[in-house]
């Protein structure tokens, strides 16, 4: 009889579950119609062709730049925070997803009865009893509150992942920009020092011409002014170079002067190839993590409407025990 009642309860429960519905709007990704190609490509070095920008820094073919970006990915604190947020969102998704599964509790116990006088007597006996039970319960998702919650946390997890990607894109761009500026400042210092050496030779020649009556004092004064102006441009360039090297150390998550010895060695400015593929507008939009992040946040907010709608109805739970 008990088995028959249990079977009927299971059948009734299946009917209840089959009648469950999910309230609230279903999310639909917004439709966009970006142009399939650039309207104008006046620069012959830019090709409107498909491109992969996941490791765009490799087009510079600079081992030092590639190593710096790898170092930044391993030790940058902003990126670590973004990764921690992804792990947090993944954990929340696991918690919410678990609400749809049954909660099973196992209970066991035992008792010992003694009767018939003292232990060891002829009429004494001991009786031991053991009992065990299983208790399973779950909440029926009548109005889709749990499923909508799973949708929210799934979208939030995906948004956190895109936020991490956005941090990575920004960080990589900042490392590359800073590195290019360091190499550019080094080239400018070499050029400025070369100009100073040439202007010193011109000043010597101008003074000799003046001593032999072939020039004027004005010519000497002008040569001295040009030399002084070039020499005055050197300190700001050196200060800016030191600041950029210190900034690079901070981007690596290290002390400001951590990379000074390594980056102070002069190297050529990395140049891109003569022709660069820029992709098409539609692909560039799809590759932007900030846009994908906002789209996922929109999906999460849409699912929250369903949760709020489900809360308007009576929240009822059904427990099944065996």
Mean per-residue pLDDT, 216-239: 93
HSE of 260 in the Cβ direction (CA atoms, 13 Å)? 10
Q: Which CATH number fits domain 54-101+144-312: 1.10.730.10, 3.50.50.60, 3.40.50.1820, 1.20.1600.10?
A: 1.20.1600.10
pLDDT band (50, 70, 90) for residue 154: confident
Predicted local distance difference test score (pLDDT) of residue 190: 94
pLDDT tens digits, 271-289: 877 776 666 666 677 778 8
Question: What is the value of pTM for the model shown?
Answer: 0.66
Residue 46, helix vs strand vs coil: strand
Which range (111-125, 161-175, 176-190, 193-207) has the least confidence? 111-125
Under 8 Å between Cβ of 92 and 207? no
Find residue 126's DSSP bridge partners: 114
Residues of the chain with CATH 1.20.1600.10: 54-101+144-312
- 86-90, 124-128, 236-240: lowest mean pLDDT where? 124-128
Rounded to whole angstroms, how far apart are CA atoms 67 and 12?
Answer: 64
- Residue 146 CB-density burial (10 A; 0-12 exposed, 13-18 middle, 19+ buried): buried
Give the whole-angstrom CA distance, residue 298 versus residue 30: 10
Q: Where are the alpha helices (DSSP H) in the chain?
A: 2-18, 63-75, 77-97, 145-211, 217-232, 234-251, 260-263, 281-286, 289-312
The DSSP annotation for 107-164 comes to EEEEEEEEESSSTT-TT-EEEEEEEEEEEEE----TTSHHHHHHHHHHHHHHHHHHHH
User: What kind and span of H or E run contains 76?
Assistant: none
| pLDDT average, residue stretch 3-26 | 58
């Amino acid at each position: 009889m008990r088995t028959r009642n249990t079977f009927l309860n299971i059948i009734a429960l299946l009917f209840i579950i089959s009648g469950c519905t999910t309230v609230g709007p279903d999310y639909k990704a917004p439709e966009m119609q970006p142009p399939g190609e650039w309207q104008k490509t006046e620069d012959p070095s830019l090709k409107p062709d498909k491109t992969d920008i996941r490791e765009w820094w490799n087009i510079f073919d600079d081992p030092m730049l590639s190593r710096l970006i790898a170092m930044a990915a391993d030790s940058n604190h902003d990126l670590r925070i973004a990764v921690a947020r992804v792990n947090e969102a993944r954990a929340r998704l696991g918690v919410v997803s678990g609400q749809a599964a049954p909660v099973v509790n196992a209970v066991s116990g035992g008792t010992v009865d003694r009767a018939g006088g003292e232990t060891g007597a002829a009429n004494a006996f001991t009786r031991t009893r053991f009992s065990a039970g299983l208790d399973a319960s779950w909440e029926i998702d009548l109005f889709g509150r749990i499923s909508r919650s799973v949708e929210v946390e799934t979208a939030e997890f995906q948004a956190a992942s895109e936020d991490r990607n956005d941090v990575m894109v920004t960080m990589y761009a900042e490392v590359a920009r800073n590195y290019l500026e360091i190499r550019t400042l080094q080239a400018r210092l070499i050029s400025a020092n070369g100009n100073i050496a040439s202007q010193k030779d011109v000043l010597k020649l101008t003074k000799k011409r003046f001593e032999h009556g072939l020039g004027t004092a004005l010519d000497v004064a002008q040569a001295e002014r040009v030399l002084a102006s070039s020499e005055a441009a050197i300190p700001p360039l050196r200060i800016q170079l030191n600041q950029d090297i210190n900034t690079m150390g901070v981007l690596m998550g290290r002390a400001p002067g951590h990379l000074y010895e390594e980056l102070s060695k002069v190297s050529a400015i990395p140049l891109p190839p003569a022709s660069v593929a820029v992709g098409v507008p539609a692909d560039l939009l799809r590759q932007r993590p900030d846009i994908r992040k906002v789209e996922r946040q929109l999906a999460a907010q849409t699912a929250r409407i369903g949760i709020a709608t489900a809360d308007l109805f009576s929240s009822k739970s059904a427990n099944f025990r065996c």
